[in-house]
Amino acid sequence: MVVLYTFSLLLVVFVPALIWLLFFLKEDLHPEPKKLLLHTFAFGGIISMPTLTLQIIFQNIVAAFSLNIIILIIGLALIEEMLKFFAAYSSVKNNPAFDEPIDAMIYCITVALGFAALENTLFILSPFNTGDIARGI
């Protein structure tokens, strides 16, 4: 029962990201290679873990020095967006499939969707680690 419930939660998390990805892919007149898109999507998810780590470190630094909340918000956003850009750039640099201006948008969106899918998965599954299953529902 728990396995079925966990699977359904993961499905709920990943389906919206995949629907958005399909929507944006339809905007591209020359479709991108599916393998490269899958690699980019996965790299977006993978980059979320170091992003979270860096954001926690930055948050502790801001708290230690009692800096302004605006610095915290801007810093957290900069860390996340710069690492997502790094993921997109490193996924497609020197790849011949990256041949149109719209491709930059497609790959950045794909990384962001992979990032969001894993971030949402961690958010939904985190109550299960603490035993608060009702909050996870």
In tens, the pLDDT along 39-50 reads 999 999 999 999
Q: Are 114 and 44 in contact (CB under 8 A)?
A: yes
Cα–Cα distance for residue pair 117/111, rounded to 1 Å: 10
Which tokens hold the place of 89?
A: 């750039």
With 80 as the cut, is the pLDDT of residue 135 above it? no
Enumerate residues 6+ apart whose C-beta is below 8 A from 24.
Answer: 105, 106, 109, 110
**Residue entry with tokens 């993978």:** 46
With 70 as the cut, is the pLDDT of residue 1 above it? no
Task: Note the pLDDT of residue 123.
Answer: 82
> What pTM value is reported for the model?
0.82
The percentage of the chain sitting over the pLDDT mark of 90, rounded to a whole number, equals 53
